[in-house]
Chains A and B, each alone.
Chain A
């Protein structure tokens, strides 16, 4: 029999409140280690690739100018000293100035971040709101021709390379049909001080092609995940029992099946959202979308180390935040996780 205090403990709210601080502190400590290690890797990596001064400085400059520039960028010191200086400044919140633009790297990235986030959100939204219904359909009627068509389509979405699909989208919708613009972000509107595209029709038109391109792989993934989950859930006794209670099939599928299969889907959506942000690079390059992905490609070309390091640190931090959010949502969806957290 449950002890009397279970009545209070098993409410989701209290369990979260009790278990979160320890959990979050543990997570943060792990995260700091990961960030340090990663910045070191990038430092050594960029150093090994080449000397940014060769690329950045006018070839006509004389030796004195070059010496001065190297000293100004702090590149005259040995690598380990450069890294320690970087760590010291990073602790104070300064990730260095971009070699190429001579403005703080953080500021450069944050300026580009809304564009990437908007693209990533649009793509993930498309993947979720199309993927779950399509996956449910394919799972409920696996032998119908729409079900088979959905699955065949998802195989294509999986296997066609993103850059090729992007080029085909541009050829078809921008060049041949002329329906949608092929590059850039279009006019932006300010929303709470952040420039966004989706508030104007012209902005939405610019968003459609890159978001579709980026969403295609995730869409296929969510379709397959939802279908597999649905097929498995339909065989469970609780579904048969729900039908035996006389529930409508809408309720059986929409509540009993969906709530169970959402657990793995939420996990994957979270993880994939991080990778959508991080790997929007290809799509941003093809559609000349002015986001972080395009910035990092340009920065790698000129070996702009502060920007590369700052970008990767931000991406890693984003991943950590997203994973944390996924864990919290996960425990809200699955009551069994909540109890084990409270006990453990």
Chain B
């Protein structure tokens, strides 16, 4: 395997609340290489967004990253001083958020919000920064970028705002972009356009991309690799084709199965029984066992990541075999 842009090793992010410790991210490891797209999939509260914030160093108290290494180009971000970490944010790693209506500051013009992102990292004149901002807007497909620079966010549609956010993320040519469900709030045609642009940009510029989502259909067309998260842990990891065609973990199987499909029209929609467990003082053992048809006594202990098939990992005592899926 080639040198990866980002390697996360045994990351743990815990929240120390009055009620107890919430282990939002527990022993998460993955890596993503230049020009590659990693899909981070899971339900709400599975810790996928918090993994993104942990990498960015943006976990708010009472939460904090308690263990692990976050290696960007071989350098552990956790050892950086706050101001050095600030220089990494928005420069080497950029992040795009879910709701484009909320991520741009409503009272600042788009050019202000773009110029400050450039000038935070480089000693550039206003005019030069403005030029870069305009080029970035043009690159993400915003028509008449020169005029749109002096507009306010509320003068853009949702899709256009997300393009502006992506343009801001691209400004400093980062090595890695973390996209936290950036198309969830958009309608399908706009989502398609944005996905296409992002894929193209990642391939062309060699930027590594972590795409956080709960939507498997987005991942199917976009990502190279996939990590499925459940209750703060990665439960399955592999290439997109492998994981989606032949899931090993019962949870992944349940997720794929609950996507409505045309072949099963008229049947009741399938779902995973039960609810995601509360992460507050989570009991040891497989967190999915209460919802799992294959669970037995062995599942009361923590399953380790195993590799039953080459190049794939799964955290389960009873992984599905090819025959069981069909």
Within 8 A of A (CB), among B112-134: 116-117, 120-121
Does B120 contact A241, Cβ atoms closer than 8 Å? no
Asked whether any CB of chain B lies closer than 8 Å to the CB of A10, the reply is yes
Does B147 contact A245, Cβ atoms closer than 8 Å? no
Whole-angstrom distance between the Cβ of B20 and the nearest chain A Cβ: 19
Provided the pairs A237-B97, A245-B116, A248-B120 are in contact, do residues A259 and B107 lie with their beta carbons within 8 angstroms? yes
Which residues on the A side are within 8 Å of B98 (C-beta)?
A: 237
Report the Cα distance A178→B117, complex, angstroms. 54
Does B120 contact A251, Cβ atoms closer than 8 Å? yes
Asked whether any CB of chain B lies closer than 8 Å to the CB of A7, the reply is yes
Interface string of B120-155 (1 = CB under 8 A from A): 110000000000000000000001000100011011
Interface string of A227-257 (1 = CB under 8 A from B): 0000000001110111111111001000110
Asked whether any CB of chain A lies closer than 8 Å to the CB of B270, the reply is no
Chain B interfacial residues counted at CB < 8 A: 33
Does B105 contact A244, Cβ atoms closer than 8 Å? no
Does B107 contact A333, Cβ atoms closer than 8 Å? yes
Does B89 contact A244, Cβ atoms closer than 8 Å? yes
Which residues on the B side are within 8 Å of A133 (C-beta)?
A: none
Does A244 contact B56, Cβ atoms closer than 8 Å? yes
Which residues on the B side are within 8 Å of A67 (C-beta)?
A: none
Asked whether any CB of chain A lies closer than 8 Å to the CB of B70, the reply is no
Does A259 contact B168, Cβ atoms closer than 8 Å? no
Closest to A239 in B: B105
Provided the pairs A246-B117, A246-B121 are in contact, do residues A339 and B155 lie with their beta carbons within 8 angstroms? yes
Which residues on the A side are within 8 Å of B88 (C-beta)?
A: 246
Does B154 contact A339, Cβ atoms closer than 8 Å? yes
Report the Cα distance A245→B95, complex, angstroms. 8
Asked whether any CB of chain B lies closer than 8 Å to the CB of A334, the reply is yes
Report the Cα distance A248→B121, complex, angstroms. 10
Asked whether any CB of chain A lies closer than 8 Å to the CB of B259, the reply is no
Within 8 A of B (CB), among A287-344: 333-336, 339
Closest to A243 in B: B58
Interface string of B71-106 (1 = CB under 8 A from A): 000000000000000111111001101110011111
Which residues on the B side are within 8 Å of A246 (C-beta)?
A: 86-91, 117, 120-121
Does A237 contact B99, Cβ atoms closer than 8 Å? yes
Taking each of A1, A237, A244, A336, which has the highest tally of chain B beta carbons within 10 Å of its own beta carbon?
A: A244
Whole-angstrom distance between the Cβ of B88 and the nearest chain A Cβ: 7
Asked whether any CB of chain A lies closer than 8 Å to the CB of B234, the reply is no
Whole-angstrom distance between the Cβ of B304 and the nearest chain A Cβ: 34
Asked whether any CB of chain A lies closer than 8 Å to the CB of B165, the reply is yes
Which residues on the B side are within 8 Å of A240 (C-beta)?
A: 58, 97, 103
Does A251 contact B105, Cβ atoms closer than 8 Å? no
Report the Cα distance A169→B307, complex, angstroms. 77
Whole-angstrom distance between the Cβ of A262 and the nearest chain B Cβ: 9
Does B106 contact A238, Cβ atoms closer than 8 Å? yes
Whole-angstrom distance between the Cβ of A331 and the nearest chain B Cβ: 12
Which residues on the A side are within 8 Å of B104 (C-beta)?
A: 238, 241
Asked whether any CB of chain B lies closer than 8 Å to the CB of A107, the reply is no
Whole-angstrom distance between the Cβ of B114 and the nearest chain A Cβ: 9
Which residues on the B side are within 8 Å of A1 (C-beta)?
A: 143
Report the Cα distance A333→B98, complex, angstroms. 26
Which residues on the A side are within 8 Å of B109 (C-beta)?
A: 335
Does B95 contact A236, Cβ atoms closer than 8 Å? no
Asked whether any CB of chain A lies closer than 8 Å to the CB of B282, the reply is no
Tell me the total A-B contact number using a CB cutoff of 8 A: 85
Does B106 contact A335, Cβ atoms closer than 8 Å? yes
Which residues on the A side are within 8 Å of B155 (C-beta)?
A: 2, 6, 10, 339
Report the Cα distance A259→B108, complex, angstroms. 8
Asked whether any CB of chain B lies closer than 8 Å to the CB of A260, the reply is yes
Does B107 contact A241, Cβ atoms closer than 8 Å? no
Does A260 contact B106, Cβ atoms closer than 8 Å? yes
Within 8 A of B (CB), among A1-26: 1-2, 6-7, 10
Report the Cα distance A263→B105, complex, angstroms. 14
Which residues on the B side are within 8 Å of A245 (C-beta)?
A: 89-90, 94, 116-117, 120, 168
Taking each of B91, B97, B107, B143, which has the highest tally of chain A beta carbons within 10 Å of its own beta carbon?
A: B107
Which residues on the B side are within 8 Å of A242 (C-beta)?
A: 105
Does B95 contact A244, Cβ atoms closer than 8 Å? yes
Q: Which of B58, B99, B152 contacts A244 (CB 8 A)?
A: B58
Whole-angstrom distance between the Cβ of B132 and the nearest chain A Cβ: 14
Does B102 contact A238, Cβ atoms closer than 8 Å? yes
Whole-angstrom distance between the Cβ of B188 and the nearest chain A Cβ: 20
Report the Cα distance A260→B104, complex, angstroms. 12
Provided the pairs A2-B155, A335-B152, A335-B154 are in contact, do residues A244 and B94 lie with their beta carbons within 8 angstroms? yes
Report the Cα distance A241→B116, complex, angstroms. 12
Report the Cα distance A37→B40, complex, angstroms. 67
Report the Cα distance A148→B77, complex, angstroms. 33
Does A256 contact B105, Cβ atoms closer than 8 Å? yes
Report the Cα distance A94→B233, complex, angstroms. 81
Report the Cα distance A242→B58, complex, angstroms. 11
Which residues on the A side are within 8 Å of B58 (C-beta)?
A: 240, 243-244
Does B108 contact A255, Cβ atoms closer than 8 Å? yes
Whole-angstrom distance between the Cβ of B146 and the nearest chain A Cβ: 10
- Show the binding face of A for B, using Cβ within 8 Å: 1-2, 6-7, 10, 236-238, 240-248, 251, 255-256, 259-260, 263, 333-336, 339
- Show the binding face of B for A, using Cβ within 8 Å: 56, 58, 86-91, 94-95, 97-99, 102-109, 116-117, 120-121, 143, 147, 151-152, 154-155, 165, 168
Ordered nearest first, which 8 A-B pairs have the shortest CB separation? A246-B90, A237-B102, A245-B90, A246-B89, A335-B152, A244-B95, A245-B117, A241-B103
- A243-B58, A245-B120, A339-B155 are known; give 14 further A-B pairs, CB within 8 A: A1-B143, A6-B155, A7-B147, A237-B97, A241-B103, A241-B104, A244-B58, A245-B90, A245-B117, A247-B116, A248-B120, A259-B108, A260-B105, A336-B154
Instruction: Show 25 A/B contacts (Cβ-Cβ < 8 Å), sorted by A.
Output: A7-B147, A10-B151, A10-B152, A10-B155, A237-B99, A238-B102, A238-B104, A240-B58, A241-B95, A241-B103, A243-B89, A244-B90, A244-B97, A245-B120, A246-B87, A246-B91, A246-B120, A247-B116, A251-B116, A259-B105, A260-B105, A260-B106, A335-B107, A335-B109, A335-B152
